[in-house]
């Protein structure tokens, strides 16, 4: 069912943020062949969309929220704003996008003293926000494969775990002629994350070191060999991830006034996409004002925070950092590939949104763990990166950067289950010293064995049931029914 597929087609080009050269999208480009800079993808006809008034776009996107046309059900509900060159037959839909916005539980709200909601991007198909970008990148790749009649394509990415999970899943779904290869830092992705590309049948290659080491290997491959790169260096990924911003605006009926969006920053693709998305909506008049953006980084991997810590733009200098192990492991990146994109959009953002509309906050490892556990014991499903956002909100409130009349929307970028190992380390007080995390007794929880296997062995099955029940009764102090 594709009869309601949009007729608008844009004129998309790669735009280099280094030398400002433009390139045709008929070729796969990751970095500028002229200067090595990173790309954005731009629809040079975007402003023609403003011939339709904001109300047209709002009602169109709202109507599409109910469509059963799968190609428009996910992130491509916002087709005209993202990649309006794709044909419906190429669009890959695995149920990504439309993730729920969950208000802080009443008790958590009281503790925080400021309105907050999580947008649970861990409820995407591979359990992280990466699916948004992959849906777009794979749809474009599918269109190229069809047009060029390629009979074999190796898709490659470096990853802290979630990009590889998403890339492997989408490649497995699309199938021939794609083969997925993921390159991971050995021992630096969680067991759940590692199980994902393995289960999807990808070729999983590990190298010693951290993500930044893997990224260099993958960049070397992309520069010298015929591979399709799926890291966010691939600008099609950024476009898909803009859907997060569109969904936030839509959820709040296109009213982003007095809203603050918190995003954990690693390779900096996500915060780039979120800013770009809100700027597009603002350009079309779909949102009257920009929500504020707060990037959050752990003190163990904080190059973007360090850059913006200097208030005078003329004195700011970017320097990669050497990362220290972090519980926000998925964002543990010392030299973010998308840093030039952040700079580009942050400048535009502040020009329109005014001072304070874009900020970066630094948090400690301890704060990240405590915040994640606090959220989850109030019914949320935050990963450590979502905990990083909450820690950022608490810091912002303490520093007077956010007012209690402002609603904070926090990106819980992955599902808590992917990162349960860090919870386990907290509960068993087994964090290696370099993390600098000490469990707070009030947040620790452990299973309690009510009856030992030896006791069980000495009892008949009937006696065992009664004995085990008695132990539970004693543990809970249960009163009888009469
Ligand atoms: N949160 C999660 C769960 C992530 O997986 C990542 C990045 C981030 C936050 C940071 O987002 O890189 O766009 O600034 N993970 C990448 C990966 C690097 O390989 O999975 P970013």
- Spatial neighbors of 3 by CB under 8 A, at least 6 apart, are none
Pocket test for ligand 1, best of 156, 206, 265, 270 (most atoms within 8 A of CB): 270
| Per-residue confidence band for 482, with pLDDT thresholds at 50, 70 and 90 | confident
Residue 334 CB–ligand 1 contact under 6 Å: no
The 10s digit of each residue's pLDDT in 1-38 is 446 899 999 999 999 999 999 999 998 899 999 999 99
Residue 385 CB–ligand 1 contact under 6 Å: yes
The 10s digit of each residue's pLDDT in 390-404 is 999 999 999 999 999
Is 266 domain-assigned? yes
Query: How is residue 413 written in tokens?
Result: 């970028």
- Spatial neighbors of 98 by CB under 8 A, at least 6 apart, are 65, 73, 74, 77, 247
* 342/458 same-domain check: no
pLDDT at residue 1 in the model: 43
Is 435 domain-assigned? yes
* 414/466 same-domain check: no
Q: Which of 154, 65, 27, 97 is nearest to 277 (CA)?
A: 97
Residue 413 CB–ligand 1 contact under 6 Å: yes
Task: List alpha helices for 96-185, DSSP H.
Answer: 106-112, 130-148, 162-174
* 281/423 same-domain check: yes
* 333/417 same-domain check: yes
* 330/477 same-domain check: no
What distance in Å separates the CA atoms of residue 363 and residue 390, rounded to the nearest whole number? Answer: 10
The 10s digit of each residue's pLDDT in 214-266 is 999 999 999 999 999 999 999 999 999 999 999 999 999 999 999 999 999 99
What distance in Å separates the CA atoms of residue 212 and residue 188, rounded to the nearest whole number? Answer: 12
Question: If you take atom 11 of ligand 1, which residue's CA is the nearest one?
Answer: 266
* 378/459 same-domain check: no
The 10s digit of each residue's pLDDT in 105-118 is 999 999 999 999 99
DSSP letter at 200? Answer: T
* 363/398 same-domain check: yes
The 10s digit of each residue's pLDDT in 366-380 is 999 999 999 999 999
The 10s digit of each residue's pLDDT in 262-320 is 999 999 999 999 999 999 999 999 999 999 999 999 999 999 999 999 999 999 999 99
The 10s digit of each residue's pLDDT in 331-354 is 999 999 999 999 999 999 999 999
pLDDT at residue 233 in the model: 94
Is 348 domain-assigned? yes
What distance in Å separates the CA atoms of residue 264 and residue 254, rounded to the nearest whole number? Answer: 23
Q: Are 163 and 230 in contact (CB under 8 A)?
A: yes
| Per-residue confidence band for 172, with pLDDT thresholds at 50, 70 and 90 | very high
Query: How is residue 141 written in tokens?
Result: 């790749």
Between the CA of 295 and the centroid of ligand 1 the distance, in Å, is 13
pLDDT at residue 291 in the model: 98
Residue 298 CB–ligand 1 contact under 6 Å: no
Q: How far is CA 145 from the centre of its chain?
A: 27
Between the CA of 207 and the centroid of ligand 1 the distance, in Å, is 19
Q: Are 382 and 417 in contact (CB under 8 A)?
A: no
- Print the domain residue range for 460: 448-482
The 10s digit of each residue's pLDDT in 402-424 is 999 999 999 999 999 999 999 99
Q: Are 371 and 380 in contact (CB under 8 A)?
A: no
What distance in Å separates the CA atoms of residue 19 and residue 34, rounded to the nearest whole number? Answer: 8
User: Which residue in the block uniquely carries the two structure tokens 């594709």?
Assistant: 2
CATH label of the domain that carries residue 283: 3.40.50.1100
The 10s digit of each residue's pLDDT in 436-457 is 999 999 999 999 999 999 999 9
- Calculate what percentage of the chain has a pLDDT beyond 70: 99
User: From edge to edge, which strands make up the β-sheet containing 22-24?
Assistant: 22-24, 12-16, 39-43
* 248/396 same-domain check: yes
* 454/438 same-domain check: no
Residue 439 CB–ligand 1 contact under 6 Å: no
pLDDT at residue 4 in the model: 87
What distance in Å separates the CA atoms of residue 242 and residue 258, rounded to the nearest whole number? Answer: 20
* 480/349 same-domain check: no
Task: Provide the number of structural domains found in the chain.
Answer: 2
Q: Are 419 and 128 in contact (CB under 8 A)?
A: no
The 10s digit of each residue's pLDDT in 96-150 is 999 999 999 999 999 999 999 999 999 999 999 999 999 999 999 999 999 999 9
Question: If you take atom 10 of ligand 1, which residue's CA is the nearest one?
Answer: 266
- In this predicted structure, the answer to whether residue 166 has a pLDDT above a threshold of 70 is yes
Is 408 domain-assigned? yes
Residue 295 CB–ligand 1 contact under 6 Å: no
Backbone angles phi, psi at 417, to 5 degrees: -65, -25
Pocket test for ligand 1, best of 209, 231, 413, 421 (most atoms within 8 A of CB): 413
Residue 126 CB–ligand 1 contact under 6 Å: no
Between the CA of 330 and the centroid of ligand 1 the distance, in Å, is 5
Q: Could you give the 3-state DSSP secondary structure of residue 157? A: strand
* 307/337 same-domain check: yes
Pocket test for ligand 1, best of 126, 156, 192, 267 (most atoms within 8 A of CB): 267
- In this predicted structure, the answer to whether residue 88 has a pLDDT above a threshold of 80 is yes
What distance in Å separates the CA atoms of residue 232 and residue 162, rounded to the nearest whole number? Answer: 12
Residue 166 CB–ligand 1 contact under 6 Å: no
CA distances for 428 relative to 29, 315, 366, 423, 437, angstroms: 47, 45, 15, 9, 12
Question: If you take atom 15 of ligand 1, which residue's CA is the nearest one?
Answer: 330
Between the CA of 327 and the centroid of ligand 1 the distance, in Å, is 13
Q: Which atom of ligand 1 is the closest one to the Cα of 385? A: 1
Q: Which of 126, 33, 24, 137 is nearest to 76 (CA)?
A: 137
- Number of Cβ within a 10 Å radius of residue 355: 8
Residue 264 CB–ligand 1 contact under 6 Å: yes
Q: Is the dihedral of CA 50, 55, 56, 60 positive or negative?
A: positive
Q: What is the 3-state secondary structure (H, E, C) of 30-62?
A: CECCCCCCEEEEEECCHHHHHHCCHHHHHHHHH
- Number of Cβ within a 10 Å radius of residue 250: 21
Residue 89 half-sphere exposure toward CB, CA atoms < 13 A: 5
* 438/452 same-domain check: no
223: enclosing H helix or E strand: helix 211-224
């Amino acid at each position: 069912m594709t009869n309601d597929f949009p007729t608008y087609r844009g004129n998309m080009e790669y735009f280099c943020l280094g030398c400002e050269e433009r390139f045709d999208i008929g070729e796969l480009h990751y970095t500028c062949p002229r200067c090595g800079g990173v790309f954005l993808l731009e629809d040079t006809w975007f402003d023609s969309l403003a011939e339709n008034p904001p109300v047209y776009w709002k009602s169109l996107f709202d109507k599409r929220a109910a469509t059963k046309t799968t190609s428009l059900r996910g992130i491509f509900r916002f087709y005209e704003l993202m990649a309006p060159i794709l044909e419906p037959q190429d669009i890959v839909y695995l149920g990504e996008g439309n993730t729920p916005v969950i208000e802080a539980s009443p008790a958590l709200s009281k503790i925080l003293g400021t309105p907050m909601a999580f947008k649970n991007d861990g409820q995407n198909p591979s359990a992280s926000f990466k699916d948004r970008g992959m849906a777009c990148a794979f749809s474009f790749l599918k269109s190229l494969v069809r047009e060029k009649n390629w009979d074999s394509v190796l898709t490659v990415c470096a990853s802290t775990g979630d990009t590889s999970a998403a890339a492997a899943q989408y490649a497995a779904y699309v199938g021939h002629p794609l083969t997925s290869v993921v390159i991971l830092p050995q021992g630096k992705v969680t067991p759940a994350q590692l199980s994902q590309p393995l289960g999807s049948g990808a070729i999983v290659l590990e190298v010693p070191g951290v993500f930044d080491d893997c990224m260099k290997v993958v960049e070397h491959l992309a520069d010298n060999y015929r591979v399709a790169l799926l890291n966010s260096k691939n600008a099609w990924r950024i476009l898909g991830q803009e859907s997060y911003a569109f969904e936030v605006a839509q959820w709040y009926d296109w009213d982003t006034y007095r809203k603050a969006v918190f995003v954990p920053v690693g390779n900096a693709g996500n915060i780039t996409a979120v800013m770009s998305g809100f700027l597009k909506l603002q350009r079309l008049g779909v949102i009257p004002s920009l929500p504020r953006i707060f990037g959050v980084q752990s003190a163990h991997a904080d190059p973007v925070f360090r850059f913006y810590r200097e208030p005078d733009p003329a004195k700011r200098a970017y320097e990669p950092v050497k990362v220290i192990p972090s519980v926000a492991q998925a964002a543990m990146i010392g030299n973010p590939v998308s840093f030039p994109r952040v700079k580009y959009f942050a400048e535009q953002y502040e020009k329109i949104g005014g001072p304070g509309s874009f900020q970066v906050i630094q948090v400690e490892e301890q704060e990240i763990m405590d915040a994640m556990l606090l959220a989850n014991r109030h019914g949320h499903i935050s990963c450590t990166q979502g905990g990083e956002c909450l820690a950022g909100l608490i810091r912002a409130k303490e520093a007077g950067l956010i007012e209690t009349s402002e609603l904070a929307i926090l990106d819980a970028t992955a599902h808590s289950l992917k990162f349960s190992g860090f919870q386990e380390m907290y509960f068993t007080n087994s964090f290696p010293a370099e993390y600098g995390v000490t469990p707070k007794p009030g947040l620790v929880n452990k299973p309690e064995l009510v009856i030992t296997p030896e006791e069980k062995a000495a009892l008949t099955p009937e006696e065992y049931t009664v004995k085990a029940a008695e132990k539970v009764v004693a543990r809970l102090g249960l009163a009888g029914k009469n």
